[in-house]
Amino acid sequence: MRVLVAEDEARIASLVGKALEAAGFLVDLSGNGDEALSLAGTVSYDALVLDIMLPGRDGLSILRHLRALGNAVPILLLTARGGLNERVEGLNLGADDYLSKPFYVEELVARLHAIIRRRSGDTTGLLRAGDLLVNLITREVRRGEVRIELTAREFTLLTCLLRAPGRVFTRAQLCEHVWEYHHDPGTNLVDVYIQRLRRKLQDHGETPLIETVRGVGYRVAAP
Ligand code: CA
């Protein structure tokens, strides 16, 4: 899962970034509101963490702008202590949750998981395909009785496919979702990772979980 954190206080941004990475998120940091809005409009994030006081456009303005464009990405606001008015305004503008400073990064991680689950309609934190079971909270992956260890990027790639069964993802879409840069058509990065996933998942049967759609990309079959 990929998250944008817009926070101009370097110490807080660094703490939050490290905690989210440790929890398995891919994190983009921005210390400027205009840059954050531009990133949120071009990259497909699973959630945004927006500080309200930012150089350039403030967090509430980013929120208002994205919602006006119909962008429903889950958003958690960071507000100043006692900032009742901005909390109320944020919720009215369509924020999913807020945390007042100072906060514990553990709570931020838990709340982010919660708003992402809520938005995807998944209240259990589990994704399934056939005998494959993925727990988004503990990050445990099992196929039948066998536990499978995945790297952060392999996990993100797999859950991206599993969240939209039946949908075909192009290599460029997967690349943008899982890696930090836009797809270079000259690389076979996505194919290499799909092969690794298939190897780890022992996905070589007649009806594999991860299907290749020739000339387009990959998908997990709809149940
Ligand atoms: Ca700030």
Range(s) within the chain of domains with CATH label 1.10.10.10:
126-220
pLDDT of residue 179: 79
Measured over the CA atoms of residue 31, residue 35, residue 39 and residue 45, the dihedral's sign is: positive
* C-alpha–C-alpha distance, residues 101 and 117, integer Å: 24
Whole-model pTM?
0.65
Q: Which CATH number fits domain 126-220: 1.10.760.10, 1.10.10.10, 3.40.309.10, 2.40.50.180?
A: 1.10.10.10
In this prediction, residue 117 carries a pLDDT of 82
What average pLDDT does the structure give for the chain? 89
Task: State the distance from the centre of ligand 1 to the C-alpha of 59, rounded, in angstroms.
Answer: 9
Cβ distance 65 to 37 under 8 Å?
Answer: yes
From the CA of 9, how far away is ligand 1's center (Å)? Answer: 6
Query: For residues 59 and 65, what is the distance between their CA atoms, to the nearest angstrom?
Result: 10
Using the mean position of ligand 1's atoms as its centre, give its distance from the Cα of residue 144 in Å: 46
pLDDT 10s digits, 125-183: 788 888 899 988 788 999 988 999 999 889 999 998 998 888 899 888 888 778 766 66
Q: CATH 3.40.50.2300: which residues of the chain? A: 2-120
CA of 221 to the centre of ligand 1 (A): 44
Ligand 1 centroid to 57 CA: how many Å? 11
Could you tell me the distance, in angstroms and rounded to a whole number, from the CA of residue 52 to the centre of ligand 1? 6
Question: Looking at the predicted structure, is the pLDDT value of residue 20 above 70?
Answer: yes
pLDDT at 122: 65
C-alpha 80 to ligand 1 mean position (Å):
9
CB 168 within 8 A of CB 216: yes
State the sign of the Cα–Cα–Cα–Cα dihedral 151, 153, 156, 159.
negative
Architecture of domain 2-120: 3-Layer(aba) Sandwich (3.40)
CA of 51 to the centre of ligand 1 (A): 6
pLDDT digits (tens, 9 = 90+) for 70-93: 888 999 999 987 788 899 999 999
**CB count in 10 Å sphere of residue 163:** 17
- The answer to whether 100 and 80 have CB atoms below 8 angstroms apart is yes
